[in-house]
Chains A and B, each alone.
Chain A
Amino acid sequence: MNEQLIEKITKMVVEKLQSKNLKIVDLPKENEQMAVTLFQETAGENRIPEEKVIPTPLGDVKFFKTTVEEKKPNNILLRTPTKEDKNDDTLAELRKKTPARIAVGRAGSRPKTSTWLQFRFDHAAAVDAVYGEVPQEILNRLGFFQVHSRVMDKEEYIRRPDLGRRLCDESKKIVKDKCKHSPTVQIVASNGLSAKAIEENLEDVFLSLVQSLKNLSIDIGTTFYVDKGRVALMDEIGEILQPEVVIILIGERPGLVSAESLSAYICYKPRIGTIEADRMVVSNIHKGGIPPVEAGAYLGTLIQKILKYEASGVSLVKKEG
């Protein structure tokens, strides 16, 4: 099947599920049995209350949750109706605490049919979410210029991580010409394996990070965006611009719970040959994980610490003692 067709069908299915699910979200609170099926919503409730009203973007797993298997009480478990109710409440409480697929019941030792198909659909959505383009308007709004790694296309990006770790010759020149040299902190963004992650989180993370760095009186270089980059791209950027710290905001490989998770990799004086253990990562930045605004603020203080100790990663742990 061609990719566009798959995308179109996926979109239609998701829209349908989305409209269904939004109704369920509006159900009165006491309808616990229904509400718990949206465990993703309730799990995130404490952190980000607005999640309940904001329509979630295409590709987010929480709209894919069906209610079929949970509507039925788990009749294999306990016999009397009162106990059954109590058990349902207990399971509901457990489900609220994690986005993991727990308390899903079983058919013999196998998953139930709806649970299995749900899982397969979520995987299908994640596969379809790999790659993708970041809308130009976001980059325009943030004032980022765009450069490219040495990778030509998606297939090459997958097979040749080494090419994703280097800028193409023209991009190197652009970076050299357009960027402030030797800044304290150099911020870079890249789609990595999920453009969706950039689309959904970059603005919030970036703006709060900049605010946080400004509050701490830390000097920031000229931020730019790299298409199809890898984490270790920061080494070459370190060579070209000679910053104290590089932070790269990059789309993570899509998961089933979220295809829009962003990671921030940070390193003190990354240069060609920097070892992986000297990089630090804050991962799972998305509204169901670490909320982007909080992440930005946290990253600012983390950079302050790195500058203080003049080290990152394992070297930082050693210096901290």
Chain B
Amino acid sequence: MNLHTILGGIRYTFADLKEVMAKANEEKSGDRLAGVAAETVQERIAAKVVLSEILLSDIRNNPLIPIEEDEVSQIIEGDINEIIYGEMKNWSVAELREYILRNDVGDRELKRISRGLTSEMIAAVTKLMSNLDLVHAANKVVILSTCNITIGQKGTIASRLQPNHPTDNVDGMIASLKDGLSYGIGDAVIGINPVDDSVESVKRLLHATKDFIHEWEIPTQNCVLAHVTTQMKAIRQGAPADMIFQSIAGTEKANRSFGITAELIAEARELALKQGTGSGPQVMYFETGQGSELSAEAHHGIDQLTLESRNYGFARHFDPFIVNTVVGFIGPEYLYNSKQVIRAGLEDHFMGKMHGIPMGVDICYTNHIKADQNDIEDLGVLLSAAGVNFIIAAPMGDDVMLNYQSMSFHDVATLLQTFGKTPAPEYLKWLEKIGIYENGRLSPRAGDPAIFSR
């Protein structure tokens, strides 16, 4: 494995694959915080040049975290199809990029190579891709997933309706829910982040959403995003949950800091399949985001993009219904400004799709980061062009519980209309029946939550 190059008369030498991978990243404040970022812009490009010539077999043979030390590594390694890997192992990362971008390579071909790629290989090629590469390539991949309904079809963007309330008040949550439904939001999931992580609170919200879904015969899924152990308790006590949610990370140590292991997630999935209310076969929901491993001081000196990719390697093992990166939530110490958030959003979405998972994005920002709503509207447009599976939306984009801003109900409806897309087919049918959609777009009645007050 060659680890040096000469560029502009300067010789650049890197110690190992880990350093090349880290320095080949686009600028991220989190990589600086970790002390792994390129020192200069030219060094960054030098690292990209070196990385472009490294073979996929080099990446596999030089694990960043050995399988003996980390169960996430073990899972990624264990899920590789050896035949497909064997077909590609002598490709350089540059060749992988050019294969992905070939005009005669589409959904079927990318899904095939996906099964032979490790998360580190997918991370490596991502580092060589431009923003438009990421949009164009991700848009080739169509990932369908099914819980109560199927989402992810070409020409659709599903959405998570996020009716959070600052005190988990059920009536308050329902008020936001009605508002979101009136804009045609909610086919991916009606998902609530509870303030109170107690079993009682989670049960209450699960029952309230399920009752509402039954009353209005809404073809969707419910979920309450408490810790996995709390949801499992709620389900064992008879609460109706279509899916089980958990935030995940790209290393075993970071997962432990979230209070989870692969064994626990497998147990949760078994429970959701046996006692959950979702039809399945997909019954899991994961959230990720660049920087969480460093935040948990469990990053092993690896850059945040590569670690994020490992999230998806972990996620795909559990056959999720939806996965999303919460891209602008973590804060400016990991993604400093809108430029970094937009880049990360495109990277995460592409890497998810290359793993074959149903990838969505919470397109968002906090109030201490250098970004505003205009910036995330930009990212919304880019991800719509990239064929994102689903987007998260809150009333006017203002989450009154988590205190950050995401896409609004209006934004999702506008992206659909601008791109000529629709919600998932089964959901669209329901929206037309209720009178919220007409001819594939918002009806005159849309936007009126009183539709659901009778």
A binding-site residues for B, Cβ under 8 Å: 43, 74, 76-77, 87, 90-91, 93-95, 97-106, 108-111, 115, 119-120, 122-123, 126-127, 129-130, 158-162, 193, 252-258, 261, 275-277, 283-284, 288-290, 313-314, 317-318
Q: Which of B229, B398, B403 interacts with A119 by CB under 8 Å?
A: B398
Question: Whole-angstrom distance from the CB of A95 to the nearest CB of chain B?
Answer: 7
**A277 touching B395 by the CB < 8 A rule?**
no
**B448 touching A87 by the CB < 8 A rule?**
yes
A217 to B174, CA, bound (A): 41
CB-based nearest B residue for A125:
B367
**A261 touching B333 by the CB < 8 A rule?**
no
- B window 391-406: CB within 8 A of A: 394-405
A99 to B403, CA, bound (A): 12
- A256-B368 CB under 8 A given contacts A97-B175, A275-B257: no
Q: Can you report 6 residue pairs joining A to B where beta carbons are below 8 Å apart?
A: A76-B448, A90-B453, A103-B449, A123-B372, A284-B167, A317-B229
Q: Which of A76, A101, A105 interacts with B398 by CB under 8 Å?
A: A101
Q: Which residues of B contact A120 (CB under 8 A)?
A: 372-373
B binding-site residues for A, Cβ under 8 Å: 29, 32-33, 163-167, 169, 171-176, 178-179, 195, 227, 229-230, 256-259, 295-296, 331-333, 336, 366-368, 372-373, 394-405, 408, 410, 413-414, 417, 441-442, 444-450, 453
**A98 touching B257 by the CB < 8 A rule?**
no
Q: Which of A87, A159, A275, A314 interacts with B29 by CB under 8 Å?
A: A159
Question: Whole-angstrom distance from the CB of A106 to the nearest CB of chain B?
Answer: 5
Q: Which residues of A contact B167 (CB under 8 A)?
A: 284, 289-290
Further contacts, 7 of them, CB under 8 A, given A94-B449, A120-B372 = A103-B448, A103-B449, A106-B447, A123-B372, A253-B368, A256-B403, A277-B258
A150 to B422, CA, bound (A): 51
- A160-B408 CB under 8 A given contacts A97-B172, A98-B175, A313-B259: no
**B230 touching A317 by the CB < 8 A rule?**
yes
**A102 touching B395 by the CB < 8 A rule?**
yes
Q: Which of A43, A97, A101, A314 interacts with B396 by CB under 8 Å?
A: A101
A264 to B413, CA, bound (A): 38
**B166 touching A288 by the CB < 8 A rule?**
yes
Q: Which residues of A contact B179 (CB under 8 A)?
A: 94, 100, 102-103
CB-based nearest B residue for A122:
B398
Q: Which residues of A contact B441 (CB under 8 A)?
A: 109
A127 to B403, CA, bound (A): 12
Q: Which residues of A contact B453 (CB under 8 A)?
A: 90, 93-94
**A277 touching B259 by the CB < 8 A rule?**
yes
**A109 touching B413 by the CB < 8 A rule?**
yes
CB-based nearest A residue for B401:
A284
CB-based nearest B residue for A126:
B367
Q: Which of B172, B256, B333, B372 interacts with A98 by CB under 8 Å?
A: B172
A123 to B374, CA, bound (A): 12
Q: Which of A111, A158, A254 interacts with B333 by CB under 8 Å?
A: A158
Question: Whole-angstrom distance from the CB of B365 to the nearest CB of chain A?
Answer: 9
**A119 touching B447 by the CB < 8 A rule?**
no
Q: Of residues B172, B179, B400, B448, which shows the largest number of chain A Cβ atoms within 10 Å of its Cβ? A: B400
CB-based nearest A residue for B451:
A77
Q: Which residues of A contact B400 (CB under 8 A)?
A: 98-100, 255-257
A237 to B404, CA, bound (A): 30
**A100 touching B176 by the CB < 8 A rule?**
yes
Q: Which of A77, A109, A127, A284 interacts with B414 by CB under 8 Å?
A: A109
- A162-B410 CB under 8 A given contacts A257-B398, A257-B400, A314-B259: no
**B450 touching A77 by the CB < 8 A rule?**
yes
**B403 touching A314 by the CB < 8 A rule?**
no
- A284-B166 CB under 8 A given contacts A76-B444, A100-B172, A257-B400: yes
**A111 touching B33 by the CB < 8 A rule?**
no
Q: Which residues of B contact A261 (CB under 8 A)?
A: 403
A100 to B162, CA, bound (A): 11
A122 to B398, CA, bound (A): 10
**A109 touching B229 by the CB < 8 A rule?**
no
Q: Which residues of A contact B33 (CB under 8 A)?
A: 159-162
- A77-B333 CB under 8 A given contacts A99-B166, A123-B367, A159-B29: no
**A94 touching B398 by the CB < 8 A rule?**
no
Closest 9 CB pairs of A and B: A255-B403, A277-B259, A101-B396, A314-B259, A98-B172, A102-B179, A90-B450, A126-B367, A100-B395
**B171 touching A97 by the CB < 8 A rule?**
yes
**A119 touching B417 by the CB < 8 A rule?**
no
CB-based nearest A residue for B178:
A94
**B176 touching A102 by the CB < 8 A rule?**
yes
**A104 touching B396 by the CB < 8 A rule?**
yes
Question: Whole-angstrom distance from the CB of B423 to the nearest CB of chain A?
Answer: 13
CB-based nearest B residue for A281:
B197
**A98 touching B367 by the CB < 8 A rule?**
no
Question: Whole-angstrom distance from the CB of A203 to the nearest CB of chain B?
Answer: 21
- A111-B396 CB under 8 A given contacts A158-B333, A255-B403, A284-B166: yes
A74 to B176, CA, bound (A): 18
Question: Whole-angstrom distance from the CB of B435 to the nearest CB of chain A?
Answer: 11
Q: Which residues of B contact A255 (CB under 8 A)?
A: 367, 398-400, 402-404
CB-based nearest A residue for B450:
A90
A13 to B434, CA, bound (A): 42
Q: Which of A87, A159, A314 interacts with B229 by CB under 8 Å?
A: A314
CB-based nearest B residue for A274:
B257
Q: Which of B256, B332, B395, B450 interacts with A159 by CB under 8 Å?
A: B332
A161 to B30, CA, bound (A): 10
A220 to B408, CA, bound (A): 45
Q: Which residues of A contact B396 (CB under 8 A)?
A: 100-101, 104, 111, 115, 119
**B398 touching A97 by the CB < 8 A rule?**
no
Q: Which of B195, B414, B447 interacts with A105 by CB under 8 Å?
A: B447
- A276-B296 CB under 8 A given contacts A94-B179, A109-B413, A123-B405: yes
CB-based nearest A residue for B173:
A98
Q: Which of A91, A98, A130 interacts with B368 by CB under 8 Å?
A: A130
**B295 touching A161 by the CB < 8 A rule?**
yes
Question: Whole-angstrom distance from the CB of A73 to the nearest CB of chain B?
Answer: 12
Question: Whole-angstrom distance from the CB of A231 to the nearest CB of chain B?
Answer: 11
- A102-B175 CB under 8 A given contacts A77-B450, A193-B368: yes
CB-based nearest A residue for B296:
A276
Q: Which residues of B contact A97 (CB under 8 A)?
A: 169, 171-172, 174-175
Q: Which residues of B contact A160 (CB under 8 A)?
A: 33, 333
CB-based nearest A residue for B412:
A109
Q: Which of A77, A130, A283, A314 interacts with B195 by CB under 8 Å?
A: A283
A131 to B367, CA, bound (A): 11
Q: Of residues A111, A252, A258, which shows the largest number of chain B Cβ atoms within 10 Å of its Cβ? A: A111
CB-based nearest B residue for A158:
B332
Q: Which residues of B contact A76 (CB under 8 A)?
A: 444, 447-448
Q: Which residues of B contact A159 (CB under 8 A)?
A: 29, 32-33, 332-333, 336
**B410 touching A98 by the CB < 8 A rule?**
no
